[in-house]
């Protein structure tokens, strides 16, 4: 069970890094927001889901 939480946290860290770099670049590039806003919203949804799932699974570890 601990390995599952560690993998979730690793995925969370990688996705957070991608979002921290990707969102400002997308917003600064002319015309890119319209092309990639659905991808950004989906990524943010996955990020929030990872936070919730990691918290729930972590509550089962004693």
Tell me which H or E stretch contains 62: none
CA 14 – CA 61 distance, rounded (Å): 23
Q: What CATH number is given to the structural domain containing 50? A: 1.10.287.740
Write phi, then psi, for 2 (nearest 5 degrees): -65, -35
Higher pLDDT, 62 or 60: 60
Query: Which tens digit of pLDDT belongs to each residue from 13-61?
Result: 999 999 999 999 999 999 888 899 999 999 999 999 999 999 999 999 8
Q: How many domains does the chain have?
A: 1
**Does 11 score more than 90 pLDDT?**
yes
Tokens of 48: 């929030």
Per-residue model confidence (pLDDT) at position 62: 74
Q: Which domain holds residue 28?
A: 2-58
């Amino acid at each position: 069970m601990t390995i599952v939480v560690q993998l979730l946290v690793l995925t969370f860290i990688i996705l957070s890094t991608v979002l921290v770099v990707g969102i400002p670049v997308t917003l600064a590039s002319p015309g890119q927001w319209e092309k990639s806003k659905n991808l950004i919203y989906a990524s943010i949804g996955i990020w929030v889901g990872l936070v919730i799932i990691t918290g729930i699974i972590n509550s089962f570890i004693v």
